[in-house]
A and B are shown apart, each in its own frame.
Chain A
Amino acid sequence: MTREEKEIRLADLVLAKAMWPYIRPYAWMLAVSTLLVFAGIFFELSIPLLIQKGLDGFILQSGQNSKDALFLGLHMEDFRSFGLFFCLMILAAFVIDFGQTLFLEYSGQKIILNLRWKLFSHMTGLPVAYYDKNASGRLVARVAGDIENMNEMFTSVLVFIFKDLVLMAAIFVMLARLNAGLAFYLFGLVPVILMSVTGFSRHVRSAFRTIRQKIGEINHSFSEGISGIRAIQTTGSAATFIKRFRDLNATHYDAAMRQIKTFAVFMPFIGLLGIISTAVILWAGGLKVTAHEMTIGELVAFLTYMKLFFRPLRELSEKFNLLQNALASAERITTVLEQKKDRQRLTRKRVRMDAIHHLAFDHVHFSYDTETPVLKDICFSLEKGSSIGIVGQTGSGKTSIINLVTGFYRPDAGLIRINGQLQESINTMDIRRKTALVMQDPILFSGTVKDNICPPENPLDGPDLKKVLEQANCGFLYDKFNGPETMLKEGGRPLSAGEKQLICIARAFACNPDLIIFDEATSYMDSGSEQAVHEAMNRLMKGRLSIIIAHRLSTIRHCDRILLLRNGRIREQGSHPELVRAKGEYYHLLEKETL
């Protein structure tokens, strides 16, 4: 137990160190918030004290003649000025309390905004390999959910745990000052309270976790049931799914009941502790009053403070949970932030490059995990104005070649040369600036078509944009939609698959590349759109270097050179007529495809 705690604390220190640079610019805000919190505590505590002074000084006057009250060295001579002072105090309490809460929220949100932005821009700089290794849903959770948890830490946890602890300590001091003897009795309760709070929070945490997890599963099976409704209904398996859902729902119910039971024990228990201490204080205090060791007003004040003492307890345990959550999130965020960025690998003497006119693979070997080779001894070269087609079955390594050309991955052995120079020695940004990629899944971002097409460094204006769209056979945008201003929703809606692919080709046109790569770009297409896409492709390929990956031979037939890949090796290489004449694997493939 203790060892575990130590470990956590150590990890927390590391976390704090990693997070500090992101928090530092806003540290003053947190400091001001903390000051305001103290001011708030001061007001919160002074009001019961004022009531006590009023009771003792003016109302009860037990035997004394002088009608006055002393508060913080301030003499109030008559009841009316006391009332006025009280008014001012509660007004100030209101202002401070509001100001403090709002300012704290503001600082927390501001930190989070900054952190989220930094994290996201850091992540866009991470190598593609990182994205291939981690499920994208999990990565999204880093920037969305985890950052949100951190927010919780700043706005409600850190300062408030601090505040509650300070408040309880302050109340305790007040109680001790009112009557040390009575406070001593109360002190006996503290270990019981601490033990019950920690025990409770452990239980509640696990219950909450199960509930959250089950709710996640329920939401998931709801959305899955809706998106997969056709599959469910047409296979007649609705009953199975309903039964599965009911079981899941029942486990959620069980978890919820467990949580209710935990609370049903804890909450009344805290209430009971309050009552017990009231009884004890009343008994001991009553004796003290009769012995003239304390005034009635003091006893009343003591009871009021005691109530305040119990109030933060319930929340404190809740906030410990939030803190745990936030720390777990912070840990996940730091791991992401510690990932090395893509570009940092090529710091030394990068060569500037304006245009690509030659690309060559020289005995390139490659694997993703250094164990299973994916590409073996790949050699080819490509000049400006010519094209290479790559065919092969799924898993033969076609896409891996593209991963190397674009610099997403580095070869294990062998050299990749661009314009005769080593790929590593050239600024990756320069290579990519002159490269365009059209993939099997037409990837479009929500926003206007124009946003999707234009390179950020040189936004195209009206006529140029129109020309690009026309070249890419995107005339339909003007006929059916709103031209380049057409708004696309998530997943490129409302465009059809073929139309989306044409927009992707337009994007390639717009960046005016030297090297153009088509990765199965026509596989979703029917013959009608395929032709439009092919036309656009051919227009785009003119005068550039192009690499075309396809599983249909018709797509690559006109390429100057065709590579046939199998199990990561180039089996055949040559132009279409050459390969046909050779009557090898390519020829067999061709025969099969022609019915």
Chain B
Amino acid sequence: MDRNSIENHRKITYASVMNFQVQTDAVKDGRKGGGLKLILPFFRRYKAQILLGMVCMIIVDGTQLIVPQVIRSVVDTLDAGSLDRAVLIRQCVFILGLGVLMAVLRYAWRILLMGSARNLEKGIRDQLYTHIMALDPAFFDRVNTGDIMAHATSDINHVRMAFGFGIIVLVDTVLLGGAILAIMIWTHPKLTALALIPMPALIFFTRFLGKKMHDFHTTAQESFSVLTEMIRESFFGIRIIKVFNFESLVTNRVGHAATDYFRKNLKRAVATSLLRPLLGFFFNISSLIILFYGGILVMRNTLSPGELVAFLQYLGLLAWPIIAIGWMTNLFQRGMSSLRRINALLQSRPRITCPENPVTMPRQIRQIRFSHTGFSYDGHTPILSDICLDIPGGSRVGITGPPGTGKTTLACLMMRLYDPTQGKIRVNGIPTTDMDPKALQSCIAFMPQEPFLFSATIRENMLMGRNMPDTELEKVIRICDLSDTIKAMPRGLEALVGERGVTLSGGQKQRLVLARALVEDKPVLILDDPVSQLDTQTAQRVIDGIHRRTKDRTCVLISHRLSALAACDTIYVLENGRISAGGSHAHLLETSRYYRHAFDVQQFEET
């Protein structure tokens, strides 16, 4: 009867261990086992290592159980009053031997199991980065950068914890816990049953508080990043704050944000502070039960004193597996949902794909033609509509127009960063959708509107891993009017820029990014607003240099600065997503109201 109830209890304990499997796999998300596919190959590859690690751990667990038995037998012989020195020595040496064995095996499993978890982490992170590099801009419009960052940092960490620590804890819990339970039951089933009464509560609270801790921690972290951002923007705008006497205002705002963080942190603190004392409490209750009921048993002579002492020792050993059950289920749940999120990210495919049989890129680009092309990011607000334009190979085309009329989008379509939602774009008569986007992009040098610099040297930022002899690079630098800037740098071309290096002005950044686009001699050059941040003289010098360098190449120039466009063969005016006028500079001055007006603003009549 008693033995049965213990068995049942054990089943319950095991069931709760296995429970997470049922929950995480089936209930949470429709996609069953979606994430596991990601890590199974890993387990296969490191099979031997993981198995060996587990065997080591199992032996350690087994050995650990023998120690209290030895102590028990010593205490019992002591109680009987008959002690042989030789026996005592043998027992102590035996314990020492076990200790050394355990130390060696513990070293082994730590390296084997934790090492393989780090391998898993490394593998997933590599995979994630490689995957992201292949996604198209449309993906990054949809997905928040912060979310991807979260996948790369905390989600990968959760996975490592679940499948590194998690496995260790799982093996430990099942084996060690099971064995301890078995010995306890074998010693005295009823006493075991009574001692285990508080344990379900213990498991419940570890799980419950563990989850709360995690949730509160996340909200506290969110509050912390709000606070950090607030501090950052205050420091960034310090001049404005000082001139407008906003000091007290921002201090108050930061004060509020800090208080919010304080409150959320306190919530987390309540959960954290409750956990350990609560575990201790339930554990002490178990000790009390063992001592009280076991004591009565000893007094009745149905239990030996040594057995009672060993029982207390085993209870001490059981504490860890019991706590681990609650902890581990949280770990696995978190790990699984992280895995699913990472997997979803890895499943996302670029919308722009290479057709099955891509047309080989023509060696010469004779013509790029937009025929009734339209585009919309979200499917209903048109950004570009009915664009018809013709860019003959080797010609210079300028595009201007008020902001938000789709000039940048037009450039992106040419690059096949997006595909048009209406009409086609043809290169030498072949629709771009029939081409491999990579092959197409390898024919086009592109300078995006927002200059982005990597925290690397100036040279690395220009070359981006491509090769160019220094003499050629010098030429490019001269065209971009960067010679003086670079000369003024402490380490010239090798000076670090970006977050951890020198801060460049807007105009310097712009010219650096322009140089990046000029590094390769590609047949087509698209420059999106290349000189907006340069003063007029420099801008003119740079534009002239570009024209000289790209004499026989196709060049698309987007700018608000009409003086920069004047040398173009054809200039198109884009208004509200449509081409409102096109022609030479002189022609547009007469035909386009926008162009005329813009010219008047930028130009001024001589007195």
Contacts and interface: CB of A to CB of B under 8 A. Distances in A.
Contact of A241 (B236, B259, B402, B465): B465
Contacts of B540: 592
Contact of A87 (B78, B93, B148, B288): B288
Interface string A263-284: 1110111011011101110110
Interface stretch (B35-43, B224-232, B390-398, B469-477): B224-232
A60 B79 contact: yes
A219 interface: yes
Contacts of B607: 577, 580
Nearest to B585: A595
Interface string A437-461: 1011101111100010001110000
Interface in A59-104: 59-60, 62, 79, 83, 86-87, 90-91, 93-95, 97-98, 101-102
Contact of A272 (B100, B134, B278, B506): B100
B133 A406 contact: no
B199 interface: no
A444 B244 CA distance: 12
B231 A140 contact: yes
A117 interface: yes
A235 B517 CA distance: 8
A43 B277 CA distance: 11
A250 B560 CA distance: 46
B418 to A, nearest CB: 12
A234 interface: yes
Q: From DSSP, what is the main secondary structure of chain B's interface residues? A: helix
B299 A58 contact: yes
Given A101-B277, A234-B441, A299-B75, A264 B111 contact: yes
A399 B295 CA distance: 86
Contact of A59 (B114, B249, B299): B299
B288 A90 contact: yes
Given A140-B232, A229-B133, A443-B240, A268 B107 contact: yes
Contacts of B597: 527
Interface string B444-477: 1110100010110000000011100000000000
A257 B284 contact: no
Interface in A510-536: 511, 523-531
B239 interface: yes
A92 B261 CA distance: 32
Contacts of B367: none
B248 interface: yes
B403 A528 contact: yes
Given A106-B266, A236-B438, A227 B145 contact: yes
B273 A105 contact: yes
Contacts of B438: 236
A235 B288 contact: no
Interface residues of B, number: 155
Of the listed residues B83, B98, B246, B537, the one surrounded by the most CB atoms of chain A closer than 10 A to its CB is B246
B269 interface: yes
Given A117-B255, A446-B233, A237 B284 contact: no
B231 A124 contact: no
B464 A231 contact: yes
B403 A497 contact: yes
Contacts of B135: 229
B245 A257 contact: no
Interface stretch (A178-186, A314-322, A547-555): A547-555
A59 B254 CA distance: 63
A370 interface: no
Contacts of A188: none
A593 B452 contact: no
Interface stretch (A191-199, A286-294, A326-334): A286-294
Nearest to B566: A595
B272 interface: yes
A225 B118 CA distance: 23
Interface string B234-275: 111111111111111111011100110010011001101110
A376 to B, nearest CB: 19
A190 B276 CA distance: 28
Interface stretch (A18-26, A131-139, A200-208): A131-139
B122 interface: yes
Contact of B133 (A225, A447, A553): A225
B360 interface: no
Interface stretch (B7-15, B189-197, B305-313): B305-313
A135 B537 CA distance: 31
B186 interface: no
Contact of B247 (A60, A79, A125): A125
B235 A140 contact: yes
B533 A264 contact: no
Contacts of B99: 271-272, 274-276, 278-279
A98 B537 CA distance: 71
Contacts of A263: 110, 114
A365 interface: no
Given A59-B298, A236-B438, A286 B74 contact: yes
A282 B111 CA distance: 32
Interface stretch (A3-11, A427-435, A466-474, A537-545): A427-435
B88 interface: yes
Contacts of B507: 394
B421 interface: no
B129 A237 contact: no
Given A109-B262, A257-B118, A275 B88 contact: no
Contacts of A229: 132-133, 135, 137, 140
A504 B121 CA distance: 46
B404 interface: yes
A39 interface: no
B536 interface: yes
A283 B88 contact: yes
A113 B277 contact: no
B281 A93 contact: yes
Contact of A94 (B134, B249, B281): B281
Given A93-B281, A226-B149, A279-B99, A249 B125 contact: yes
B48 interface: no
B359 interface: no
Interface string A110-151: 101100110011011100100100011101100110001000
A265 B106 CA distance: 9
Given A59-B298, A102-B269, A446-B229, A524 B106 contact: no
A334 to B, nearest CB: 18
B277 A267 contact: no
Nearest to A241: B133
Given A456-B248, A527-B602, A279 B92 contact: yes
A226 B535 contact: no
Nearest to A105: B269
A569 interface: no
Contacts of B299: 58-59
A241 B463 CA distance: 12
A563 interface: no
Contacts of A215: 153
A235 B464 contact: yes
A28 interface: no
Contacts of B239: 128, 406, 408, 437, 439, 443
Nearest to A526: B560
Contacts of B255: 117, 120
Contacts of A282: 71, 74, 88, 91-92, 95
14 contacts: A55-B308, A83-B292, A94-B280, A117-B255, A140-B228, A143-B254, A218-B152, A222-B132, A223-B145, A289-B78, A296-B78, A456-B248, A525-B560, A593-B563
Given A234-B446, A241-B133, A253-B121, 17 more contacts: A98-B273, A101-B269, A136-B236, A139-B235, A229-B132, A231-B464, A253-B122, A271-B106, A275-B96, A275-B98, A278-B67, A342-B242, A393-B537, A406-B242, A432-B245, A436-B244, A553-B536
Closest A-B pairs by Cβ, 7 of them: A240-B465, A275-B99, A551-B535, A101-B273, A97-B277, A105-B269, A264-B110
